[in-house]
Copies of this chain bind each other. A is one copy, B any other.
């Protein structure tokens, strides 16, 4: 894509109302725009990053037999009454149709929808196990929205639900999801600083797990065991003050961002909706469930917080960069440069390598400042000077033109 065709512009200054670093950087770079507090528009560059994150998540979930579907955002009150969450879930946006007077909620999670729906595909043990997920927009009536896309009032979630005939089968799948999540964070470049973290399991399980990415701006506090690189969250440390995996009592307090959570629901929701199956003995026990979340837009915000440089701009991990290559032609009034740059651009395009091509007639300083903000990790510069050596500069390294395949 020619950079001249990019509709978004980079900016030097943004509104003071934006407190978070991730939103500041993304707005300055033209990736997102604030529509209201906690609600953002994803401009073409930001949308590409979101889609790249989604693709990685989809690829990894397809390896664990999860099937994609799409659940609605509008939920009837009746479903939320069944789980007693209509009155108690503070963050639920609730409202009434002015025509039908039906009371509705905007989904902040989907156990209330998927559990009764699952009854249409689960009758017998032969239908189990099964796992479904969606990547979908969710809503939370947040008291304060001050963390940019880390905690929005509207955000994009991947929520996965699994259904099993017994707890052992849930345990097995739960471990498979942990592995898939681990691969996702690795591919996003935050594998090393994202820790499996023990959290409270509620009334049905001993533990649930969060995936916490270490970051000084994180809202969460975790306690890290440096011998097994696993953490426990605040609730767990209060209960037992050791690492559950190795028993290590020397845990180090750190700040972190929750980038995923997984939970053995057991029969909490299947009981509320009487979701049962016929087992091999002809009995009708409750279905065992698990749920597994990843905030897609939060992950994008986390990447910005982690990969920000000098609190001013970002270098994207290759896997999610809006383009593979930023090709920058300087001295574009030199027709040799323009022609050679265009030739390179077409070559990359023909190889399905995505390129943002800056062949605008602008000063180098302007081009580099914008390129820094956009943050594509692979930068190729072609100029009168580089062409004199029959070369380009790839991330600062002079590279002969004919070595670019």
Q: Residues of A at under 8 Å CB distance from B?
A: 5, 7-9, 30, 33, 35-36, 39-44, 46-47, 50, 65, 67-76, 90, 93-100, 102, 104, 106, 113, 117, 120-121, 123, 127, 130, 132, 137, 139, 141-143, 153-154
Contact = CB atoms under 8 A, between A and B. Distances in A.
Given A8-B121, A142-B99, A39 B93 contact: no
Nearest to A121: B7
A66 to B, nearest CB: 10
| Residue from the set A41, A44, A137, A143 with the largest chain B CB neighbour count within 10 Å | A41
Contact of A141 (B90, B98, B137, B143): B98
B141 A72 contact: no
Interface majority SS (helix, strand, loop, mixed), chain A: mixed
Given A44-B132, A153-B74, A113 B35 contact: yes
B74 A139 contact: yes
A230 to B, nearest CB: 33
A47 B35 contact: no
A41 B67 contact: no
Contacts of A74: 35-36, 39, 139, 153-154
A175 to B, nearest CB: 21
A35 B141 contact: no
A127 B70 CA distance: 37
B50 A70 contact: yes
A44 B65 contact: no
Contacts of A70: 41-42, 47, 50
A99 B5 CA distance: 41
A47 B44 CA distance: 24
Contacts of A68: 44, 47
Contact of A36 (B40, B41, B76): B76
Contacts of A100: 143
A47 B93 CA distance: 26
A132 B5 CA distance: 12
Nearest to A114: B41
A284 B142 CA distance: 40
